[in-house]
Structure 1
Amino acid sequence: MRIDDSDRRLLRQLMAAPGASTAELAARAGMTEATCWRKLDRLRNAGILRGQQAVIDWRALGWQVEVSLRITLDKTNPRAFDEFIAAARAVPEVLEIQSFLGRVDVRLNVIARDMGHYQQIYRDRILTLPHISDLEALMHLSDIKSEESLPL
């Protein structure tokens, strides 16, 4: 699906004010409410606009530690990747799972309340994940740039 300038304008306004009503988005994007509704519906049907979600700041809820784990899997088992991913998904403190080509196969983003809690998660949940051949932990210090919006 091709998007035009008014679609881009609407998407920019939606990223800037995700909780805005259709009427507010229409006014901000310079279009009628009916046009805005049709465009949003078309963008959803095309799979461009996949939905809206609440973004919760886990730090504000008392989770203070974030660790990025770079994991290399034992590739001698053809089911290693699938079995590892299934087990990693079951760890509630794993917020993000990414796969890569190269020496590192998977990256897990893990949060914990404090270092003692992280050590418990690491020993009881991470080290028991199947097929790990190498693991590197990177302690997160700060976000320099974390952008959710697209350059439309």
Structure 2
Amino acid sequence: MTPDATDLAILRLLSADALLSAAEVGRELGMTQPAAWRRIKRLTDAGVLAGRRIVTDQTALGFGVTVFLGVRLAAKGRTSLEEFERAVTAIPEVQVVQHVLGQFDYRLRITARDIADFERILRRRIMTLPGVGQVEANVMLSEERRPGPL
């Protein structure tokens, strides 16, 4: 499926506010509610619209520290990768797990209440995972742009 201009306009609207109803999308684009709903359903069925999410203020929820953690596995093999991935995705503070090329095998985005909480997560959860060799932490100071529409 190749999205047309109307599809892209729908994606822009929903990227800005995932809670918009089909009626609101239709009103904004000069379409009827059923036509907007059919477009949204088609985008969803085609896998272009993979879900709707809300953005929370992590600081307001008590999570003031975000850390990007590079992880190099001690042993690399299919079993090692799968074991690590299964174990790390079970840790709730790990928000993103990316398998990457470069100095590290994985890049993790970890959200913690504070530095002491991050240290606890690192010592008790991350460093005890199967296959973990070397880690390197980078604390996020600020985030200038959140992911949005392409």
Provide the TM-score with structure 2 as the length reference.
0.91
Find the residue that maps to 1:84 and give its secondary structure.
helix
Q: Is the 8 A contact 2:18 2:54 kept in 1?
A: no
> What's 2:37 paired with?
37
Per the alignment, residue 148 of structure 1 pairs with 148
**Cα distance, 1:17–1:121 mapped onto 2, change above 3 Å:** closer
Change (3 A) 1:53 1:147: closer
- Per the alignment, do residues 75 and 33 of structure 1 end up closer, same or farther by CA in structure 2, a change over 3 Å counting? same
Cα pair distance change 1:69/1:3, threshold 3 Å = same
Alignment match, 2:89: 89
Q: Does structure 1 retain, via aligned residues, the 8 Å contact 2:65–2:114? A: yes
Equivalent in the alignment of 1:69: 69
The question of whether the paired residues in 2 share the 8 Å contact of 1:72 and 1:104 is answered with yes
Per-residue deviation, 1:91: 1.3
2:19 counterpart residue number: 19
When residues 145 and 116 of structure 1 are mapped into structure 2, their CA distance, relative to the original with a 3 A threshold, is same
Aligned pair count? 150
How far 1:112 sits from its partner (Å)? 1.3
Note the alpha carbon deviations across 1:63-83, whole angstroms, 9 max, x for none. Answer: 111111101112354411111
**Deviation per CA, 1:56-99, whole angstroms, max 9, x where unpaired?**
22221111111111011123544111111111112111111011
In 1, are the aligned partners of 2:11 and 2:149 still within 8 Å (CA)?
no
* Unmatched tracts of structure 1, length 5 or more: none
Give the CA deviation at 1:45.
0.9
RMSD value, Cα: 1.5
CA distance in 1, matches of 2:101, 2:42: 35
The aligned runs of 1:109-120 (5 Å cut-off) are: 109-120=109-120
SS in 2 for 1:117: helix
TM-score by length of 1: 0.90
Moved over 3 A (4+): 75-78
